[in-house]
Amino acid sequence: MLQSMRIIGGQPLVGEIQISGAKNLALPAIAASILTDETVTLNNMPNLADTSFMQDIAMHFGSNIQRISNNTYEFTTKKITTTIAPYDYVRKMRASILFLGSLLSRCGHAKISMPGGCAIGARAIDLHIYAMRKLGVHIEIENGYINAKADKLIGSDIIFDHITVGGTENAILASVTARGTTRIINASKEPEVIALCKMLNSMGGKIYHDNDSNTIIIDGVDKLHSTTFKIISDRIEAGTYAIAAAITKGKITLKDCVYDDLTLFFDCLKHAGIHISKNDNSVTVEGCDVIKPHSVTTAPHPMFHTDLQAQYMALMTIADGCSHITETVFENRFMHVNELNRMGANIVVQHNTAIINGVMRLNGARVMATDLRASVALVLAGLSADGETIVNRLYHIDRGYEDIDAKLSGCGAKLERVNVEQ
C-alpha cells in the first residue's frame, strides 16, 4: 500500500522549524567514512530514506554502524569485505556512485553498477570516469558495470568542462590518499562540497579550496584517521520551509538555517515582497499580501539552486504577474508543472524556461509526485490552495525531508498521511 498526503489548504503557517542536517552532505560523508579503518562519528545526521539506504550500502562494503543517539551515528570499517556495488543498490541510490572514489582510495579496485538515469535527467557519470582515469585508474565499462582498478592513485590536474557536484566529490574521495597533488579545476563550490573537504581534513586530509579560481587542491596523505564531525544544516530544507511561510502568508523561524548559504535565494524572495530577517542562529521568513513576480535562472552555487526551483515555482503560481524560471542544470526538471496546472496554475514551458502567469489562488486536487523536490513543491501548493489536495507517491518526499509532517503541522498545517490504492 503506497502512502499519500492529504492536505487542507488555506492556513497561514506560523511557528518555528528546526532544520535538520544536510542530506547532500550526509550522503558523501557516509561514503567518506569507509576511507579509514578507524571510527568516524557523524553528528546531526538526518534520518531519511536516502541516508538509511546509503548506510545499508556502507554496511554491504563492511562498515559496522552504531546509532549513538537520534542523529549521531558511528561508522567503523575495519575491513572492506567486498568492492562490488550491485545494480539493485545503485539503481535505487544514485549517490552510491560516490563509493567509487572511496573504494579506489582504500582498496585500489571497485566494481560499481552504472547508476542509470532518473526522472529529472540522464544523470551521466562521464565526468566521474574522466576524473578517475586522470588519477591513473584503469576503467572498463562492461555489462552495465564500471570495472575500476589502480595499483596506486597518482595526483593529477582534473579539469571539469562543466561543474559537477558528485564528480567533484568523487575526485576528492579518490585523490585524498593519492600519491602527489591533485588540482580539481572548475570544481563545484556548493557548501556541502566545502564541508566534505573540512570533514576529510579533520581525518588528516590536506585539502585547500581556492574560492576565486574555483580550484580545489588535494595533497595526498598516506592514511586517514577517526573523526567526530557535524553535518551542516540542510539549506534546501530551509529554503523549502521558507517558501511554506511565503506561500501561506505566514511567519516561520528556521532554526539553524545558515543565511549565507542561501543569500541569492533570500534576495529573490525579498524581490517577491517576502520579509526575511537574519537572527543569530536562525532566519525568520514572513509572507506578504501581494507576492510580486520575480524571474530566476538555476545554476551552480552561489547562483539559484536547482533543488529549490520547483518550490519557488509553486510560490510564483500565485504571484501578481508573470515570471520566468529557466532550468540550466537538469534537462527534465519541470515535471511538477503539469501537476501545478491541475491545481489551477497557469504555466507554459518553452524549452528550458517555464513561463508562470500568476493566478489569484490555487485549488486543491489529487496530484502525483514524480521526484523529491517536485513532490514537496506540490505539498507547498496544497498548503496554499483552497480545499483538499492529495499528493500521491509520498515515498519521494521521505527521501529528503526528515519529520516533514510534524514540522509542518507544528506550524498549524492541516495534513495527514493516508493509505490509498495508487
109, 123, 255, 275: residue in contact with ligand EPZ (rule CB under 6 A): 123
How many whole angstroms separate alpha carbon 374 and alpha carbon 274? 22
Instruction: Confirm or reject binding of residue 191 to ligand EPZ (CB under 6 A).
Output: no
Given the C-alpha cell 533543488, which residue does it identify?
Answer: 307
| Residue 322 designated active-site | no
Catalytically annotated residue among 107, 118, 197, 268: 118
How many whole angstroms separate alpha carbon 298 and alpha carbon 334? 12
Handedness of CA 384, 385, 389, 395 (dihedral sign): negative
Residues 53-72 that bind ligand EPZ (CB under 6 A): none
Closest CB 114 distance from ligand EPZ, rounded Å = 11
CA dihedral 93, 194, 191, 90 (to 10 degrees): 0
Instruction: Confirm or reject binding of residue 165 to ligand EPZ (CB under 6 A).
Output: yes
Q: Kindly indicate which of the ranges 118-126, 175-183, 242-250, 403-411 contains the residues binding ligand EPZ, using the contact rule CB under 6 A.
A: 118-126
Given the C-alpha cell 566545502, which residue does it identify?
Answer: 194
Given the C-alpha cell 567514512, which residue does it identify?
Answer: 33
CB closer to ligand EPZ out of 227 and 306: 306
93 neighbors 54 (Cβ within 8 angstroms):
yes
CB closer to ligand EPZ out of 99 and 330: 330
Q: Kindly indicate which of the ranges 54-62, 126-134, 220-228, 403-411 contains the residues binding ligand EPZ, using the contact rule CB under 6 A.
A: 126-134
Read out DSSP for 148-203?
EE-SS-B--EEE-SS--HHHHHHHHHHHTTSBSEEEEET----HHHHHHHHHHHHT
Instruction: Choose among 293, 312, 155: nearest CA to 220.
Output: 155
Q: Kindly indicate which of the ranges 121-129, 260-268, 285-293, 348-356 contains the residues binding ligand EPZ, using the contact rule CB under 6 A.
A: 121-129
10, 108, 121, 387: residue in contact with ligand EPZ (rule CB under 6 A): 121
CB closer to ligand EPZ out of 125 and 408: 125
How many whole angstroms separate alpha carbon 8 and alpha carbon 231? 34
Closest CB 304 distance from ligand EPZ, rounded Å = 11
Residues 6-35 that bind ligand EPZ (CB under 6 A): 23-24, 27
248 neighbors 228 (Cβ within 8 angstroms):
no
Instruction: Confirm or reject binding of residue 177 to ligand EPZ (CB under 6 A).
Output: no
Closest CB 62 distance from ligand EPZ, rounded Å = 22
Residues 272-331 that bind ligand EPZ (CB under 6 A): 306-307, 329-330
If DSSP codes are grouped into helix, strand and coil, which group holds residue 113?
strand
Residues 216-255 that bind ligand EPZ (CB under 6 A): none
Residue 289 DSSP label: S
If DSSP codes are grouped into helix, strand and coil, which group holds residue 217?
strand
Instruction: Confirm or reject binding of residue 174 to ligand EPZ (CB under 6 A).
Output: no
Instruction: Confirm or reject binding of residue 122 to ligand EPZ (CB under 6 A).
Output: yes
Q: Which residues bind ligand EPZ (CB under 6 A)?
A: 23-24, 27, 95, 121-128, 164-167, 306-307, 329-330, 372-373, 400
Catalytic residues: 118
